[in-house]
């Protein structure tokens, strides 16, 4: 059982690796879907937040495993649509960095709230991530394809975090989750100071 969980997490990580090669400008030949897919992979802030959401959901267990990431992806799409529609979402960059710091802190503290509250926290952070994706959509991109791309990448990163969290739980090593959370929070602080 432990080996299959580890294999699932590793498979998700390996599946994400090709996208990292496109995670920077200069790939004009990519489709709108690939432009959207690579966007969350291109920034450490997005990567850390998405992985942390999945890890937190796995740590919470039960319905949170699907509810928290689903709330994030759904609300992120709304944030992206708001940005594309020209609605000003204030403090986007600060909200993204704050999401990294606070998600790390939630992991360090092994924070447990009702599932609805956890989904709400994830959804709040997702608005900022979605608005950033929407604002940075290439002008020639098909909006729907781009949105499906960044939603798919986000879900893949969540699944990777969930796989890691399940593997940690199987090995009964909660300290690994707390150490990972502290590293995420520290990286968030470094991003804030950069």
- Residue 153 structure tokens: 């990448």
User: Which residue range forms the structural domain that includes residue 67?
Assistant: 2-23+33-193
What was the pLDDT predicted at 129? 95
- Rounded CA-CA distance 95/20 in Å is 24
Whether 110 is covered by a domain: the verdict is: yes
Q: Please give the average per-residue pLDDT across 99-115, as a whole number.
A: 95
- DSSP H helices in the chain: 2-20, 32-38, 44-60, 64-84, 92-108, 115-135, 143-170, 174-193
Q: Higher confidence at residue 148 or residue 42?
A: 148
Task: For residues 74-103, give the mean pLDDT.
Answer: 95
Smallest CA-to-CA distance from 9 within 54, 56, 61 is with 54
Residue 82 has pLDDT above 60, yes or no: yes
| Average of per-residue pLDDT across 78-85 | 94
Residue recorded with tokens 């009964």: 172
Average pLDDT (94-116) is: 95
**Contact indicator for 37, 149 with CB cutoff of 8 Å:** yes
Domain assignment present for 140? yes
Phi and psi, residue 68, nearest 5° = -65, -50
Contact between 104 and 185 (Cβ < 8 Å): yes
What average pLDDT does the segment 8-26 reach? 47
pLDDT at 69 over 60: yes
- Domain membership flag for residue 41: yes
Phi, psi of 48 (to 5 degrees): -65, -40
The reply to whether 112 falls in a domain is yes
pLDDT confidence of residue 25 = 47
Mean pLDDT confidence for 131-158: 91
Q: Domains in the chain: how many in total?
A: 1
Residue 128: predicted pLDDT: 96
Question: Is 28 within the bounds of a domain?
Answer: no
In terms of average pLDDT, the best of 11-15, 27-31, 140-144, 181-185 is: 181-185
* Average pLDDT value for the chain: 86
Residue 134 within any structural domain of the chain: yes
């Amino acid at each position: 059982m432990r080996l299959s969980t580890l294999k699932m997490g590793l498979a998700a990580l390996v599946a994400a690796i090709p996208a990292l090669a496109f995670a920077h400008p200069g790939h004009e030949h990519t489709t709108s879907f690939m432009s959207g897919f690579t966007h969350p992979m291109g920034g450490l802030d997005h990567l850390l937040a998405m992985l942390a959401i999945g890890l937190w959901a796995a740590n919470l267990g039960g319905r949170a495993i699907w509810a928290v990431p689903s709330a994030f992806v759904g609300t992120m799409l709304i944030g992206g649509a708001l940005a594309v529609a020209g609605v000003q979402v204030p403090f986007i960059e600060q909200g993204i960095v704050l999401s990294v710091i606070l998600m790390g802190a939630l992991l360090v503290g092994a924070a447990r709230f009702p599932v609805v509250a956890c989904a709400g926290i994830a959804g709040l952070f997702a608005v900022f991530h979605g608005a950033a994706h929407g604002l940075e959509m290439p002008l020639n991109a098909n909006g729907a394809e781009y949105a499906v791309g960044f939603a798919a990448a986000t879900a893949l990163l969540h699944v990777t975090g969930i796989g890691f969290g399940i593997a940690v739980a199987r090995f009964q090593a909660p300290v690994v989750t707390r150490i990972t959370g502290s590293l995420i929070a520290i990286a968030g602080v470094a991003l804030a100071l950069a």
